[in-house]
Chain A
Amino acid sequence: MDSNVKNNSGHTQMTTDSTVIDRRRFGRKLLAAGFVSSAVLLGKTEQARAWMDGTFSQRQDLPDAIRSIKKTYSDIDPYPHTFNDALVKNRLRDIDFIAGLGLDKENVEHYVYTLGFLINKYLKDGVEMGGKDVALWGMFERTSCSYQLYEHITIKEFERSFPCPFKPMLENLKKDPGTLKIQWKDVCKKWCIPVWTGFAERAGVKIKVKTGETCTVKVL
């Protein structure tokens, strides 16, 4: 049947091919999801299950989380605080510290090594089975280090975008207490771009990064 499709006119072929590709892609995604999720049963990817397992309503520690959100979002002086406030400040402080010592490359390599362990171990296989979008899934909406950092993540196939959390915070910190020396471009060049590129390499894909008030990461 496939060979018959290939003998048709270009337009039909494209349409039919795209259907075939979509089916194939769907099949690959199912396979990858199956691999990444249910291979747990084989004892291979236990970590993969650590995501959206439907137990939210059974958690006994939700009051602590709600109190933290209430306190954070009631704090509007000198700027409206958001749930990622402390994390963004911590990251900026570390980038400032490391940049001052000229150790930014080593620091990024260490970060990718320490936190990218699971990417190397599992996500690469997921990408091979499910396609390149699985890499972005693993790097962004799948990991708490991203969904607790970015206020929201817009998901498109082969592309993720999100508002830069560092720009407004760096502006705030430069005003008060005014002790950080790095510039916004340092955050992009010495942290975000190399970290994403490092994780992507571990997942076996190449990416194109556009930084700005909204950052975009596309898989090539």
Chain B
Amino acid sequence: MTDLSRRSFTKKSVLLSCLAALAPATPAMAMFDKVQKDPFLARDDLADALKSMYMTYDATYPYDHKFNESLVKDQLRNLEFSITKGINDKQLDHYIMTIEPILKRIKELVEKEGPEKALVELFDDEPCSYQLFENITVAEGERSFPCPYKSNLEHCKKWLKTFTIEWSDVCNKWCIPIWKRSADIIGIEIDVKTGETCSVRLQSPDTSS
């Protein structure tokens, strides 16, 4: 009786070990994994981010401040300076020069995975995009987002009174050329529509002759 119990115990142990080793990940195990491996949960500097966000979103007068406030203002100020000094073309050249190695890597990925990868790399997974655009709407072959510059430029003109560039300058002397030139290096063709909502769309093979 005692021998039998020992044997059955051993058999059960072996069975359980086999089951545990062979069984596919259960939801509980996945959750365990998630908590351990999620990079966001592993960060210990989130408090700084939340404090900055709180300070930003608690500021609503004379206009609602947003997480991209300083970045947008910085880009507008840089553009204001370059246009005023007549060095906008050089600024665009310099911008493209600084990111060219990255664009060439994207070109390699596009050659392997297709042109959609270009939009993923330029918009969805690029901090300089997702920290700039308040939200990015993802559709196959197209990304669209609210223009962050229009309202911020209006605020700068109204409250600071030191900006002279127009919204159309931002579209024509910054956004459109950097998207188009980036697309050229990557080896894709895009259509750009600027406005309160901007969109960047891959040209279909039929229309990109």
A contact residues vs B (CB 8 Å cutoff): 46-47, 49-56, 59, 61-62, 64-76, 80-87, 89-91, 93-94, 96-97, 100-101, 103, 106-107, 110-111, 113-115, 117-118, 141, 144-145, 147-149, 151-152, 176-180
Contact = CB atoms under 8 A, between A and B. Distances in A.
Contact of B52 (A54, A55, A148): A148
Contacts of B134: 61, 64
A50 B62 contact: yes
Interface in B77-95: 77-78, 80-81, 84-85, 87, 90-91, 94-95
B49 A91 contact: no
B160 A114 contact: yes
Nearest to B162: A114
Interface in B53-76: 53-67, 69-71, 73-75
**Interface secondary structure of B, over-half rule:** helix
A69 B53 contact: yes
Contacts of A90: 71, 74-75, 78, 128
Contacts of A74: 38-40
Given A65-B56, A114-B160, A177-B99, A86 B128 contact: yes
Interface residues of B, number: 63
Given A64-B135, A148-B56, A103 B85 contact: yes
Nearest to A49: B61
Contacts of B57: 56, 59, 61-62, 65
Interface string B96-138: 0111111000000000000000000000010110111011000
23 contacts: A56-B57, A59-B64, A62-B57, A65-B53, A70-B40, A72-B130, A74-B38, A75-B39, A83-B52, A83-B67, A85-B128, A86-B132, A87-B74, A90-B71, A93-B95, A97-B90, A110-B77, A110-B81, A111-B77, A148-B70, A152-B48, A152-B51, A179-B101
Nearest to A106: B85
B49 A82 contact: yes
Contacts of B14: none
Contact of B67 (A65, A113, A176, A177): A65
Given A152-B48, A152-B51, A177 B39 contact: no
A62 B66 CA distance: 9
A56 B94 CA distance: 39
Given A53-B58, A70-B40, A147-B52, A82 B45 contact: yes
Q: Which 9 A-B pairs have the closest CB atoms?
A: A86-B131, A177-B101, A148-B70, A56-B58, A114-B162, A97-B94, A74-B40, A179-B98, A86-B128
